[in-house]
Amino acid sequence: MKKILLTIFTTVLCFSTLNKAYGFVRYEEKHPKKTILVNVSGVVHYEPFGWEEKNISVKLSGYRTVFKPILDILAADINADLRYKTYFKNVEAAMKEVRKNDIDLFLGAYSKTELYKGLHFLYPAVLYNPITVFMMPNRIDEVKSTDDLKKLKGVRIVSELFSDFVDKKVSELNPIEVNTPYEAFEKLFTREADYIITSYYSGMVEAIKLGLLQQIAPAKQTLWKIPMFIGVGKASIYRDKLSKRITKYLTDEKNLKAVEDHLQQLIKDLEKKYEGVVPPTFVSFKDTDTQVTSPDNAQ
């Protein structure tokens, strides 16, 4: 009798469990997970960290960012519809939208920097932006510290943003200011400047685009490393939700490694895209046989 009762109980329990499971599926079908609209912006005109890539042949454009691996996790985790607002002419314009609560997430912000006021920074930093100098290969050994730069003439691109601390240090070197990477490299090759002070990765990319990568060399030591953060708008209605989720992702070393791998892939893609570019006419090939190598402690 006990065996019969046990069998009946087990059968009823199984049917009850299956019925609840079926009911849950039906509920999910009727009430799909709500989509969260998240407005995203970030550094612009700053390859390989963030830029608009245009495809003239198909009249398309899209934002490319080194932070993509983190955003992919976020989109899947909370069913986020990520809307990129990267049509701004500069970061200053984007930050105005952050403070107006029109942007929820900002990619590539510098901490302790007045420009990024209005953001809640998510720790740890996703990656570091190594700042170095590019010189003619036969002269690169002249620079081992910032003190060595004081005896030389530098050039910087005014549109490249540094943290407030690094910007102050760079300004103290009194570099020539130019508007474009082309002008910076022109002054280097025509000997009007001894070095270009810039991000290692950004300098690499601009050299690739101009066909100059094998004619210049970065300093062997990084001068400064600026932490780059994901920031959440302080006024965003999703501030708590986004902060908790993204902070969780950033504590996983695998996710940070994915960002680093993506950074290297972006550079490889750009090398392939600009392969065979003829250098500008101001290039002198004298004493430029040294190969370009990464700074010892570049991230």
Q: For the segment 148-164, what is each residue's pLDDT rounded down to a tens digit? A: 999 999 999 999 999 99
Question: Would you state the structure tokens that stand for residue 259, as one six-digit string?
Answer: 């960002």
Q: What percent of the chain has pLDDT over 70?
A: 81
Residue 13: pLDDT above 80? no
Strands of the chain, DSSP E: 36-42, 50-55, 60-65, 80-84, 105-109, 119-135, 154-157, 176-178, 195-199, 217-218, 224-233
Q: Average per-residue pLDDT in the chain?
A: 87
Predicted TM-score (pTM) above 0.75: yes
User: Whole-angstrom Cα distance, residue 90 to residue 107?
Assistant: 13
* C-alpha span between 131 and 295 (Å, rounded): 10
Which has the closest alpha carbon to 116: 47, 163, 49, 170? Answer: 163
For residues 220 and 211, give the distance between their C-alpha atoms in angstroms, rounded to a whole number. Answer: 21
pLDDT > 80? residue 16:
no
pLDDT of residue 188: 97
Residue 59 has pLDDT above 80, yes or no: no
CA–centroid distance for 266 within its chain: 10
Q: What is the CA radius of gyration of the chain?
A: 25
